[in-house]
Amino acid sequence: MDQSQTTPQPANAIHPQEGKGKDEKVKEEERMTISKTEYEKLKRDAAEHLDGWKRAKADYINFKRETEQRQAAFSQFAAMAVLIGVIPVYDHLRTAAAHLPAEMKSDPWADGVLKIRQEFEKCLKDAGVEAMIAEGQPFDPARHEALGSEAREGVAPHMVVREVKAGYLLHGKVLIPAQVIVSGG
């Protein structure tokens, strides 16, 4: 082996003949001398493995984040499917409560039904659902479904003049568009 290519031994290195005990001889046996080119190759390999480990760690972090985002999107999609099925039932309950005859408003049974409607409203609100305000607003095809038009004096064209069926938002995004009548121009 060429002396110019070997790594220098530290000044306090233990030589086999100077060893004082069994442990020191084992340490000496474990020590080896390698050429500078081998040392550089090992150093490059270690750096390459470290870079590979860093890339794998970054890939894992990205995968974990993407998985969490997919799970959140799936949960939101599942909630939307349930809400789309439940909201028409709520609409029927709301319509029935709005058409409750005056003589029945003091009836305990009717009072119970109105309390159920209030609880239903609270559950929907807690889930992020809110009724859309359509009447008096400009017609927006992303939020409203036009069922017809009416000429109304003093009302600008393309304004919602009547809400036929309520629309709903989920966390500010349209869940069910409002069915409306629009002013004609």
* In a shared domain, residues 69 and 122: yes
Q: Are 177 and 146 in contact (CB under 8 A)?
A: no
* Tens digits of residue pLDDT in 43-53: 999 999 999 99
> For residue 149, which of 181, 180, 123 has the smallest C-alpha distance?
181
Residue 27 belongs to some domain of the structure: no
The pLDDT of residue 31 is 77
| Between residues 149 and 1, the one the model is more confident about | 149
Single residue among 87, 106, 127 that ends a domain in this structure: 127
pLDDT of residue 24: 60
If one counts the domains in the chain, the total is 2
Which residues, 6 or more positions from 90, have their beta carbon under 8 angstroms from its beta carbon? 117, 120, 121, 124
- How many Cα atoms within 13 Å fall on the side-chain side of residue 137? 17
Which neighbouring-strand residues pair with 183? 150
Q: Is the pLDDT of residue 14 over 70?
A: no
Which CATH number do you get for residue 149?
2.30.22.10
Is the same domain home to 119 and 177? no
Which residues have a Cβ under 8 Å from the Cβ of 129 and sit 6 or more positions away?
A: 83, 87, 168, 169, 170, 175
Which residue segment(s) compose the domain that 61 sits in? Answer: 33-127
133 and 113 in a common domain:
no
Residues 104, 75: one domain? yes
**Measured between alpha carbons, how far is 182 from 134 in angstroms, rounded to an integer?**
10
Residue 32 burial class via C-beta count within 10 angstroms: exposed 0-12, middle 13-18, buried 19 and up: exposed
What average pLDDT does the chain have? 86
Please tell me whether residues 78 and 38 are part of one structural domain: yes
Q: How far apart (Å, rounded) are the C-alpha atoms in residues 91 and 110?
A: 17
pTM metric for this prediction:
0.61
Residues 43 and 106 in one domain: yes
83 falls within a domain: yes
In this prediction, residues 140-156 reach a mean pLDDT of 92
For residues 87 and 58, state if they share a domain.
yes
Chosen domain end from 79, 99, 127: 127
Whether 46 and 122 share a structural domain: yes
Does residue 41 sit within a domain? yes
Distance of CA 50 to the CA centre of its chain: 32
pLDDT digits (tens, 9 = 90+) for 124-144: 999 999 999 999 999 999 999
